[in-house]
Structure 1
Amino acid sequence: MFKNKLKLLIIGAALLVVGGIGFGLTFDNNNVDRGEAYHREWQLADGDISVIKLMGDQDLRVNVAESTTGKNYVTMSGHLSQEVINRLDKSVKANQDSLTINVENEQEWFQFLEFQIYGEQTVTIHVAKGAKLGQLASDMSSSDLVVRDATAKSITLESGSGEIEATNLAADTTTVKNSSGDIDLKNVTSNLEVINGSGENSVQGMTGDTLRATSSSGDIEVNQITAKTTTLTNGSGSIDGEEVSGTVKVDNNSGDVELSGLDNATSVTSGSGEVDLSFHDVTKDVTVDADSGDVNIEIPGAFNGFLDLRSNSGDIKSPNIKTSGNQVIKVRTGSGNIKVEQ
């Protein structure tokens, strides 16, 4: 038995050595393709821009700025393989009201030992004064995407894997989708929908009619939200929010829910995890339905509605309220304590 274990240890050590040598050879400078430097500028037609679409598997930084020439045009720079640069030159059609940029790298099978490190590609959309951008869209397969200062009729950002980060977005509708990777949004003025398979999700500063954030697995964090309706749905992971104004609907299968700055109708359904809610004002009914986990609610001193609190197994603590209003705070728990503080 001992000899067999010794043989296995020796074989394992040998494989580690071979793997280390292979790793070192792979990352030798001779096996790293850092691409060719390039800069391109494409003129667009006068008037409004219909669509700017970005595709591929390279990291992109996208900026939207007012043109200083009075014309619509797009600039792009960075490092890419010569094959991709040539394909860009052939595929991008200038002097139109739309532009599609594809930076997909088509690596041949025999190049599997050659690592490509091209870095970030920078795209700037220059919009003439008085012109409008209809749609800004991305369909990235596996790469990071950063978007800054984009104003459009609609914004659709999609990625297969990789982080999506966007700041200062203004649109009628904005949709951000990711299969696996973080989503980080700041200062969004738009109806907003966030959909993620797995990864952290953050919205910091949003104004619009609706905010919908859905995640299969991964935390959801929303702060400084002013929306008529906010809907947060999570399969597994926490849901956190500060200063969330408007009607709020939460459905969390497993994970804590912590929301503050609430001021309107609020409905929370929780499978497992603690629920903590804090209200600036209670102007509409509040409902919490928790299978397992404590429920803690802070309400303003001016609240004079009804408390309807029931727990199958758990303590209930609440203030004595002289009821004269119509609002109702209704809490049901399968197992867990209920505490209401005023």
Structure 2
Amino acid sequence: MNREHSDNIRPIRFREGALQLLDQRRLPQESVWQTYQDAPAVAVAIRDMVVRGAPAIGITAAFGVVLACQRAAGQHDWRARVAVDIETLRGSRPTAVNLFWALDRMQAVVAASESVDAAVSETRAVAERMLEADIAGNRQLGALGAQLIDPGRGVLTHCNTGSLATGGYGTALGVIRAAWDAGRIKEVFADETRPWLQGSRLTAWELVHDGIPVQVLCEGAAASLLRSGRVGWVIVGADRIAANGDTANKIGTYGLALLARAHGVRFMVAAPVATIDFEMADGSGIPIEQRGEDEVLALAGQRVAADGARGYNPAFDVTPADLIDAIVTERGVVEAPTRERLATLREPAAAESATTGA
């Protein structure tokens, strides 16, 4: 059974020399595009979660370098100015490896440019190829992941891993889209994903937009749902995957992996190869972003916790590789991931060049 779906959500665009981002803090109540003219403002947008999701952060940062080159035009010290902006972008969020992957490639393009005008042209071309390659890779990833899903049951996902978290189509949500189109999924459940509510605000919005039925649940309801037998796979994305398969993702993912193993439900991580940090031996070295206490002590700007209470607010946790049944990438599927199996996905040397736009 094939089901027609729409795929026209694109959260990042570059027009008339400016970067435009769909403000994900305002969804689903309203769709507001924010416009950026310089790299420091882009860094603030990443930090403040106007854009979020590891692939989308990387692409956004790449366009931030384009803006840096444009702003440096006509300056004798343009390379130094761009270098400062790149470091500002590097400091915007610490966990998503795609951010550093993209900036390394853009930095190499700048270094190879003979003039600032050439840098503007070449960085924009590479950033646009990154965006196009991300969407194409997500479609391939989605098709590969969908093949693992036996028809007849539902899936549970966490946070937002769709078009809003990427250049388009999505990673874990791309798998869900592809599986739904192929008639392999009976129903979709989305964790609310506190404290930013990416599941209820963003994932539910995307699925409703595409005509895919979705039920939102509090994280606390996941255990009973998994015990019910209605879910065959938990499908999540990743912000950084260590060389051994340990995976950092939105806080709450580790708990889902434990619950899935306890209830015989399979657990899938869907992410592009760029999310794999082959230099990071295991998950213990992955930096975990600690965000402001107010995000858990207040709701929509209104404090809900008792005065005097403190907030514990790690943005991510790390799921050990031995709890992951499959890591799905655009290059292939690695089941029961190990260091040796993941190494087969490593980019060939030719693809490491920033000028490929890989």
Q: Same fold (TM over 0.5)?
A: no
Q: Which has the higher contact order (CA 8 A, sep 6+)?
A: 2
Greater percentage in helix: 2
The bucket for the TM-score relative to the shorter chain is under 0.3
What is the TM-score when the length of structure 1 is the normalising length?
Answer: 0.24
What is the TM-score when the length of structure 2 is the normalising length?
Answer: 0.24
